Amino acid sequence: MKTRNLTLIIVAGLILLLGGCGCSRYNSLVGADQEVKTAWSNVETNYQRRTDLYSSVVKTIEGSANFEKSTLKEVIAARASATQVKVDINDPASLQKYQAAQGQLQSAFGRLMAVAEAYPNLKTTEAFQNFQAQIEGTENRINVARRDYNDKVKDYNLKVKTFPNNIFAGIFGFKEKAYYQADAGSEKNPDIKFDIK
């Protein structure tokens, strides 16, 4: 009878210990997951700020007579494409698709800004000058937000992959998340040529 009671006490103690440990690990994983989601929300907020700035300068440029409409149409199409991509941070493919759309928008806008240099009347408008002042800060915010997101993903992935958390992560369905990657081709040095005579 005493051994039976002792066995029940040991089993109950193990269940309580594992249950408490499991609750603690689960709550830790949920907290890390929420930090990743918050960091991603900050990335999206900064990209939205950039899109809004692009929209305001596009309206300014549209009002400029004789501006190259084809370049402007490329930016408008890229902006529409970038805002339609829905991201699931648990799906690396959707994250890559989002990054590609943002890269296309930035590239199209870079071409637009290069063309805008040929229009001195446009460059002197207050809206265009405000845009130029704000876009640099916005790009810096985007870089900081992406770095912060990757830091939170690293912390989360460490919790998901290290022992004994990996056991509880598998039981509760927590999976590794994708990092925000550098744009394709950014690892190559730009080919700069100066035609100095």
| Residue 141 near residue 117 (C-beta atoms within 8 A) | no
Q: What is the pLDDT of residue 187?
A: 55
What does the pLDDT look like over 59-118, one tens digit per residue?
777 776 566 677 778 888 888 888 888 888 888 898 889 988 988 888 888 888 887 777
Binned at pLDDT 50, 70 and 90, residue 194 comes out as very low
Q: Is the pLDDT of residue 18 over 70?
A: no
> 112: buried, middle or exposed (CB in 10 Å: 19+, 13-18, 0-12)?
buried
pLDDT reported for residue 162: 94
Q: Are the C-beta atoms of 66 and 84 separated by less than 8 Å?
A: no
Helix (H) / strand (E) element for 40: namely: helix 2-62
* Cα–Cα distance measured from residue 63 to residue 140, given in angstroms and rounded to the nearest whole number: 28
Measured between alpha carbons, how far is 196 from 47 in angstroms, rounded to an integer? 38
Q: What is the pLDDT of residue 24?
A: 83
Query: In the chain, pLDDT over 90 holds for what percent of residues?
Result: 29
Six-digit token string for 105: 């928008």
Is the four-CA dihedral 177, 95, 30, 147 of positive or negative sign?
positive
Q: What does the mean pLDDT of the chain come to?
A: 82
Q: CA 72 to CA 89: how far, in whole Å?
A: 31
How high is the pLDDT of residue 192?
Answer: 44
User: Tens digits of per-residue pLDDT, 155-171?
Assistant: 999 999 999 889 889 98
The two tokens of residue 112 are 């637009």
pLDDT for position 23: 81
**For residues 183 and 139, what is the distance between their CA atoms, to the nearest angstrom?**
14
Dist CA 197 CA 89 (whole Å): 52
Give the whole-angstrom CA distance, residue 180 versus residue 66: 39
The mean pLDDT of 143-157, rounded to a whole number, is 96
The answer to whether 68 and 13 are in contact (CB under 8 A) is: no
- Helix (H) or strand (E) segment spanning residue 146: helix 126-161
The structural domains of the chain, ordered by start, are 27-172 (1.20.1440.20)
Q: Place 197 in a pLDDT band, splitting at 50, 70 and 90.
A: very low
Higher pLDDT, 62 or 32: 32
More confident residue, 63 or 135: 135
